[in-house]
Structures are given as structure tokens and as C-alpha cells.
Amino acid sequence: MTDRNVSAEKPEKRSAGIAAARLVRSGMVVGLGTGSTVAYTIKELGRQVREEGLNILGVVTSYQSEMLAIESGIPLTTLAQHQELDLAIDGADQVDVKMYAIKGGGAAHTREKIVSVSAKHFVVVADDSKMSKELDREVPVEVLPFAKELVVKKIRELGGKPELRMASRKDGPVITDNGNFVLDVAFGVIEDPAALSLQLSAIPGVVEHGIFSNVDEVYIGKTDGSVEIIKK
């Protein structure tokens, strides 16, 4: 990801991403999420490392965030070396009023969830368009290729409409960093995210789904450059 890619994004994303970076202190081990909004966080942390002597270690959630963190000069570590993180910062595709979130638009939600649950504090950065009264976006579900047909059958029994995410007709299915497929599942309005989360997790062959229930704070970027902070 380059500066040109990041600068093309909306200023609301920049405001939220940079504001969340101010939570980071020297000595922290920080989970670094994936996506266009948290890219601003990663770049800002890199600036602080270079210009202000910020002393941190990052744990990345995807090859995309790894490349950007390295480019930004952030020293990296792993969960094998640091099982508990001080903070994790990530984006979201949608967040409801109860602070449930849907993630996985970048097909990195399995690693994102592992990193976020490993952190003492999990912060989501988003622009105002990602906020909603209720969750109603498609839920990404990472599945073992061997189990795809079984998972599709079980998800339909739950009332979902799954579609295999395709890179293109020529290139075939999207393959995650873990070597798996992604199903995007439409459920309409999700009235009980906690219950649906449990039901999806119980299906054999599901690696992870994109419903997150562990968000502690949301930094919401506004069109005027301000940032609203919502805490659980």
C-alpha cells in the first residue's frame, strides 16, 4: 500500500485513524488491523516511531498491514512472542449501536479477531458511513475449502444466503492469508448478533466469521474533521 493509495481515501478516515494512534504509548505491543482507515493509524505510528522516538512493537493481521508497517518503519513481533497485547486498532465494515461489528471486507477477519481478542483493549476506527442502528451487511465467513458445501448447506438452514467470494472469473475464489475460501452471507437485518455468532461458530468447517462482539471503543471520523468517540 502506498501513500498515493492512502491519500485517495476520505478525510473522515484519516481523522479517525490518526486520532486512535494517539492512544499508543511507548512500551506498548499493538495489534495493527487491515484496511483503508487503519492504514492512517499505521502510517501515523510509523511517523511517531521515526520522528518522536515512539518505542512500540506491532502485531499485524494480514500481509497487507505487514507491508505497510514495514514501509512505515514499525518494528514487528508475533503472538508467539507476545501472547497479550496492550491495544489493538482495526477498521470495520459496519458497527451497530450496541457496538457489535461486522468485519472481513478484506478477508482478514480470522487474524483480526485473534489479534483483537489477544488485546487488553480493542478500538475500531471508522468513518460515519459505517455506523448503523442494526447490522445488516453481509457477514464474511472463512471456510475450509474441503468443507465449503457442508457450510453452505448449514448456513442456508440458518436462513442465510451465502455466496463464494470471487477474485474474478478468471482467477477464481478469493484465497485468504490462511489458504481458505470466504463466503459472504446475507442475513438481512441481524436482530441478535450474539446468537448468530454462536450458530456460525458451531458449523464444522467454519474457520471464523466476521461478527465481532469485543469492541471497547469506536473512533468515528466526521466530514468536518472531528472525531466522535463511543465507549462501551
3-state class (DSSP) for residue 47: helix
**Residue 104 region by backbone torsions, left for phi larger than 0, else alpha for psi between -120 and 50, else beta:** left
Q: Are strands 139-143 and 227-231 parallel, antiparallel or unpaired?
A: unpaired
Nearest to 125 by CA among 49, 8, 56, 227: 227
Active site positions, annotated: 112
Q: Return the CA Rg of the chain.
A: 17
Amino acid at the residue 147: A
Q: How deeply is 114 buried, as exposed, middle or buried, from its count of CB atoms within 10 A (0-12, 13-18, 19+)?
A: middle
Q: Extract the C-alpha cell encoding 58.
A: 506491532
| Beta bridge partners of residue 206, listed in sequence order | 143
Give me the helix-helix angle, 11-21 and 36-52, nearest 10°: 50
